[in-house]
Every structure is written in C-alpha cells, then in structure tokens.
Amino acid sequence: MATLAGWVGMAMLQGSSIPALLDSLSGSADLPPLSMACLTWSGLTLYLWNAINQRNTLYIVGNCIGLTLNSIIIGLLLLSVITIGSINSSVIPLL
C-alpha cells in the first residue's frame, strides 16, 4: 500500500505543474523567474543522481518527469529572452 501511495503522490505532485505549464504555453500565465527555474533544475538533477545511486525507481521516474517539465519552462523563458531581444528584469529576474 505504501508503494502505491508513493506512485499516486508522485503523479499528483508532477501533475500539479501541468496546468500552469499549459497556461504558460497559451500565454495566459506568467512564468517563474529564470533563477528559480535553473535552481529547481539543478536540485532535480542532484536528486536524480541520488535516486539512480540508490536504485529508487519511484524517485528516478518522478525526477525525470520534473526535469522534463522544468526544461520546458527554461526553454520558454529563454525563448522569451530571444523574442524580447534583451533581458527585462521585470520579466526574468536574475539572481
């Protein structure tokens, strides 16, 4: 039962970011700051490394999904920088 709870929890956690990502793709939601997206991506990468080392399938799958979704957000942020032509600190605050 605990294993099932882990998988359901991972699906709920990862699924909670999908509506915001879809809203961002349609232009009806603001993206997070680039610094936050990069720090999240870095943290997920380290978590994935640890999960692979421990051979924890649940965390490996969850971190891969999180990295994929976060990579899309970083791509959208970088695309907005290219589209705007310069970094606008009100749109993409840096560290």
- Work out the pLDDT band at 95, boundaries 50, 70, 90: very low
CA distance 42 to 2: 28
Helix (H) or strand (E) holding 25: helix 18-26
pLDDT in tens, 79-93: 887 776 555 444 444
pLDDT in tens, 38-52: 999 999 999 999 999
pLDDT at 62 over 80: yes
- Give the mean pLDDT of the chain: 84
Lookup result for tokens 């999240």: 40
CA distance 35 to 95: 6
Q: Decide which of 95 and 41 is more confident.
A: 41
Prediction pTM value:
0.77
